[in-house]
Amino acid sequence: MPVRNNKVFMACLYILVFFLLAEWLTPVVVLTNTGHRPLFLIFIAVALLMAFLKVPWWISGTVKILYILWFIVYVYTGAVFFTGESLSFLWEDSRQNFQALASQNWAQTTDVFRTLLFFTLLWMAVYLIHYWVNYRLSIFLFYLLTVVFIAVLDTFSPYAGNTAIIRIMVIGLLLAGLLHLARWTESHRIVLQMEKLAVFIVPLFAMIAASAAMALYLPKADPVWPDPVPFITSLSGQGGSGDGSGTASVGRIGYGVDDTQLGGSFIGDSTPVFRAEVESGQYWKIESKDTYTTKGWISAGNVGESIVYSNGQTVNTGFSPGTPEEAETALLAMDQDFPFVLYPYGTESFVTEQPLNYQYNTAIQRFETFRGGEVVEPDVYEVTFSEPSYSLTALRNTTMEDLARLPAEFDRYRQLPAELPQRVRDLAEEITESSTSVYDKTRAIESYFSNNGFEYSNTDIPVPAENQDYVDQFLFETKRGYCDNYSTSMVVLLRAIDIPARWVKGFNQGEELNTNDGLTVYQVTNNNAHSWVEAYMPGVGWMLFEPTIGFTGSASVDFDLEIDPTEPADSEMPDSPQPEMQEETEGDSTAAGQSGPSPGERVLLFIKENLGKLIWSLIGVGTLILLLYRYRQKWMPKLLIPYYRIRGGGSSSFEKAYLRLLKQLDLYGIRRAEGQTLRSYASYVDSFFGTKDMSRLTTAYEQALYGGEAENVKWVELQESWENLINLTSG
């Protein structure tokens, strides 16, 4: 009995396959925010089980289709069983999708359709892997793909595959080991009973377990090679210089005052700024700016008023605090001193040991600290605040008409430079076309960045050229950048459709250090310098928005009751890119670099600067070539067959084709000994494949070569035999 008929053995394989497929599903579900993971897993399990039990295709197909339909009904209507209502839902939905497809109106297809597609994909994946395991007894390709898939996601997406990669290694090695054993016994026609199989399987398990455990617990050295990711991402983006101008400059991250010239790359700086002891991480606001200059931000002068608050006095930040029950206190200990205080959303009062005056500037919403008329930089202070909450109903009721009735003091939050390209305005219209309320339009702009090919990066970001708009460059040319790009763009887009908005600077929550007594200590460094957006909802007030990708929190808001916009952003994955800056562009921007060194020197300089990248790409290309060479047996036939078809007849074609076939057979593993004649080799090949093609070809070849009667060979008649063998050897 061959191994593949051994039920226990095969069951083990299918269980391992299930876990491997689950590893595929997990990141997809996490990244696309898809729910109901267990139900998808059940689908995979059922499909694999039926494949394992060799259920006839019409039964298994029916079961799977029924399951998919049930899933749709259950998830979209909530009905546990097929009721008349749910069936009419299915009918209605499929009609709608069919119409959308027929009219090629892809955007009109519903979520149900996408769910269906996802299931189809899972179905195909299960079928394929079943085929590989059951018929080919080989998993390597799929295994490799899984590792690459998870590694790429781990590197380039917020998904953290730290433990997934270990699980995959273990599952994959087990599968590969078991399948190798199966192939080995079959190729040697060895029949093993379960106990004999165990002799091989138990050491395999033990060895993999031991090596995995060792790998897990041994100390890990830091990487020897520089991180190649920034290099790879810079290749895929259009960083560098937009329009051949706007030389990239490099700054250092941190809070700065001057925002007149945004853009350029920056490097990280983990110098501590302050520590915050607070229940949950907050966005710490410093100030906002209102005037966009096509290059950056300035503050309009001579507007607003200054209000002075004393220690512990209730302040008015324009954000009404949430309920008193939720009020909490944060303790900030500064490492760097600023002549102002940082404050979270919903701030009620500030307290320091030594009394201070807090002068609040309504134009820029900054609390400057004074004592007795002199500027002071407080070391430690306490902020009492309660996170604001918004009624979704009220937000949904905001209309564009309300905006028109806003007083003139909001005009500066709708300011836009006259030079702003029209296409930016058009884009704003296009994004918000389908939304009605002000809130929905704002959300539409906020989420626009996360699914239109934008990517987060702090390297290789250009500074806009002389006559180039910073937002326009980001939205239409580079599509890569950091928080300044996203927040500025969102403000400009909002203003383009007359929604008042302002650009806010501060720090994000920072890194958790430790937790005690319900309070968490967050370390905020220069890396946490951040910028975001506040927009005005008529009738509701100012509200925080977070367009920067990597800070995706606000997307998963529960739309049911009341919404707290700060919370999602704060509680999101602590591992997400910790960006941000606001750089003092003290970097080596070197203005332009036009009147530069000679071409030769530039090449040398380029090589010197990019030595790491060059080495990496050389290694990459080398590996690729090696792989192509190693697996030439697999892909070359695909080229050979059309090549010799096009080449057509002629005896020289035949002789070349025959010699090519010999090489191909050699690669396939059927070696011809040095002293073996073609005739005996041919009969071996034919007995191996169960064909007569090789003998047929060899007779003709002998006649051509030894008989010198090449012209009598009819290549056209032999071509079929030849292609048949080439195909057999590439399988």
Partner 1 sequence: MEAKDQLNKVIDNIEKVIIGKRDIAELSIVAMLSQGHVLLEDVPGVGKTMLVRALAKSVGADFKRIQFTPDLLPSDVIGISIYNPKDMEFHFRPGPIMGNIVLADEINRTSPKTQSSLLEAMEEASVTIDGVTMQIPQPFFVMATQNPIEYEGTYPLPEAQLDRFLLKVKMGYPTPKEEMEVLARVQAVAPIEELQSVIELEELIKLQQQVKTVKVDETIRNYIVELARKTRTDSYVYLGVSPRGSIALMRACQSYALLKGRDFVTPDDVQYLAKFVFGHRIMLRSEARYDGITAEEITARILAKTRVPVQRLVGQ
Contacts of 36 (CB under 8 A, 6+ apart): 71, 75
Q: Are 171 and 146 in contact (CB under 8 A)?
A: no
Closest distance of CB 669 from partner 1, Å = 19
- Burial tier of 664 (Cβ tally within 10 Å: 0-12, 13-18, 19+): buried
Q: Which is closer to partner 1, CB of 83 or CB of 680?
A: 680
Q: Which is closer to partner 1, CB of 241 or CB of 651?
A: 651
Q: Which is closer to partner 1, CB of 305 or CB of 674?
A: 674
Closest distance of CB 715 from partner 1, Å = 16
Closest distance of CB 673 from partner 1, Å = 7
What is the footprint of partner 1 within residues 564-603 (CB under 8 A)? none
Q: Which is closer to partner 1, CB of 559 or CB of 706?
A: 706
Tell me if 225 contacts partner 1 by CB under 8 A.
Answer: no
Q: Which is closer to partner 1, CB of 396 or CB of 656?
A: 656
Contacts of 722 (CB under 8 A, 6+ apart): 644, 657, 658, 661, 693, 697
**Residue 180 and residue 172: Cα distance in Å, rounded?**
12
Binds partner 1 by CB under 8 A, chosen from 105, 306, 677, 727 = 677
Closest distance of CB 178 from partner 1, Å = 39
Closest distance of CB 691 from partner 1, Å = 20
**Residue 416 and residue 424: Cα distance in Å, rounded?**
11
**Residue 462 and residue 587: Cα distance in Å, rounded?**
13
Q: Which of these segments, 107-115, 531-539, 561-569, 669-677, binds partner 1 (CB under 8 A)?
A: 669-677
**Residue 482 and residue 581: Cα distance in Å, rounded?**
8
Q: Which is closer to partner 1, CB of 123 or CB of 684?
A: 684
Number of residues that bind partner 1 (CB under 8 A): 18
Binds partner 1 by CB under 8 A, chosen from 301, 599, 673, 731 = 673
Tell me if 269 contacts partner 1 by CB under 8 A.
Answer: no
Q: Which residues pair with 501 in a beta bridge?
A: 535
Tell me if 662 contacts partner 1 by CB under 8 A.
Answer: yes
Tell me if 167 contacts partner 1 by CB under 8 A.
Answer: no
Q: Which is closer to partner 1, CB of 175 or CB of 678?
A: 678
Q: Which is closer to partner 1, CB of 4 or CB of 672?
A: 672
Q: Which is closer to partner 1, CB of 560 or CB of 674?
A: 674
- Integer Rg of the chain from CA: 33
> Phi and psi for 347 in degrees, rounded to 5?
-70, 135
Closest distance of CB 654 from partner 1, Å = 12
Closest distance of CB 683 from partner 1, Å = 11
Closest distance of CB 703 from partner 1, Å = 7
Q: Which is closer to partner 1, CB of 515 or CB of 680?
A: 680
Query: For residue 102, what are its two tokens?
Result: 């027929």
Q: Which of these segments, 209-217, 264-272, 668-676, 722-730, binds partner 1 (CB under 8 A)?
A: 668-676
Tell me if 680 contacts partner 1 by CB under 8 A.
Answer: yes
Q: What is the 3-state secondary structure (H, E, C) of 627-685?
A: HHHHCHHHHHHHHHHHHHHHHCCCHHHHHHHHHHHHHHHHHHCCCCCCCCCHHHHHHHH
DSSP H helix total and E strand total for the chain:
23, 23
**Residue 622 and residue 604: Cα distance in Å, rounded?**
22
Binding mask of the shown chain, residues 687 to 726, with x at each position contacting partner 1 by CB under 8 A: ---------------xx-xxxxx-----------------
What is the footprint of partner 1 within residues 640-659 (CB under 8 A)? 655, 659
Q: Which is closer to partner 1, CB of 198 or CB of 659?
A: 659
Q: Which of these segments, 294-302, 594-602, 622-630, 673-681, binds partner 1 (CB under 8 A)?
A: 673-681
**Residue 68 and residue 94: Cα distance in Å, rounded?**
13
Tell me if 108 contacts partner 1 by CB under 8 A.
Answer: no
Q: Which residue has the tokens 């990280």?
A: 268
How many CA atoms are closer than 13 Å to the CA of 430, on its beta-carbon side? 7
Closest distance of CB 644 from partner 1, Å = 17
Tell me if 511 contacts partner 1 by CB under 8 A.
Answer: no
How many other β-carbons are positioned within 10 Å of the β-carbon of residue 550? 20
Closest distance of CB 709 from partner 1, Å = 8
**Residue 574 and residue 491: Cα distance in Å, rounded?**
26
Tell me if 130 contacts partner 1 by CB under 8 A.
Answer: no
| Three-state SS at 298 | strand
Looking at beta carbons, which pairs linking 201-205 to residues 24 or more positions away fall under 8 Å?
204/174, 204/177, 204/178, 205/174
Binding mask of the shown chain, residues 312 to 341, with x at each position contacting partner 1 by CB under 8 A: ------------------------------
Q: Which of these segments, 229-237, 345-353, 562-570, 667-675, binds partner 1 (CB under 8 A)?
A: 667-675
Q: Which is closer to partner 1, CB of 709 or CB of 717?
A: 709
Q: Which is closer to partner 1, CB of 475 or CB of 694?
A: 694
> Phi and psi for 584 in degrees, rounded to 5?
-75, 115
Tell me if 623 contacts partner 1 by CB under 8 A.
Answer: no
Q: Are 454 and 427 in contact (CB under 8 A)?
A: no
> Phi and psi for 535 in degrees, rounded to 5?
-125, 155
Q: Which is closer to partner 1, CB of 167 or CB of 656?
A: 656
Q: Which residue has the tokens 């009735």?
A: 405
Q: Are 304 and 341 in contact (CB under 8 A)?
A: no
Tell me if 679 contacts partner 1 by CB under 8 A.
Answer: yes
User: What are the residues binding partner 1 (CB under 8 A)?
Assistant: 655, 659, 662, 673-680, 702-703, 705-709
